[in-house]
């Protein structure tokens, strides 16, 4: 998983009754655009350092060289 600041992290809910979360990636702390990511969650505005699991993927911005899942 690769990302750059400005991309979005989407985490799918583990069950059909759980909601998905979307957050803006503010900073990338891993090598070559890898995790962990500093994310600002859109549903709460909370900022957190995130180590994404298998239920997550990156939504790249339109910027050239944007990350991909």
Domain map (residue ranges) of the chain = 1-15+47-63
Q: What is the pLDDT of residue 19?
A: 81
CA angle 33-36-37, nearest 5°?
75
DSSP E strand stretches across 12-61: 21-28, 37-41, 47-50, 56-59
C-beta separation of 25 from 8 below 8 A: yes
C-beta separation of 67 from 5 below 8 A: no
Tell me the pLDDT tens digit for each residue of 13-50. 776 677 889 999 999 999 999 999 999 999 999 999 99
C-beta separation of 35 from 52 below 8 A: yes
Mean pLDDT of 54-68: 75
More confident residue, 68 or 24: 24
């Amino acid at each position: 998983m690769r990302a750059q600041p400005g991309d979005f992290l989407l985490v799918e809910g583990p069950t059909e009754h759980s909601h998905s979360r979307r957050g803006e990636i503010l900073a990338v702390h891993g090598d070559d655009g890898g995790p962990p990511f500093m994310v600002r969650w859109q549903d709460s505005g909370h900022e957190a350092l995130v180590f994404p699991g298998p239920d997550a993927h990156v939504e790249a911005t339109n910027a050239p060289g944007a990350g991909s899942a």
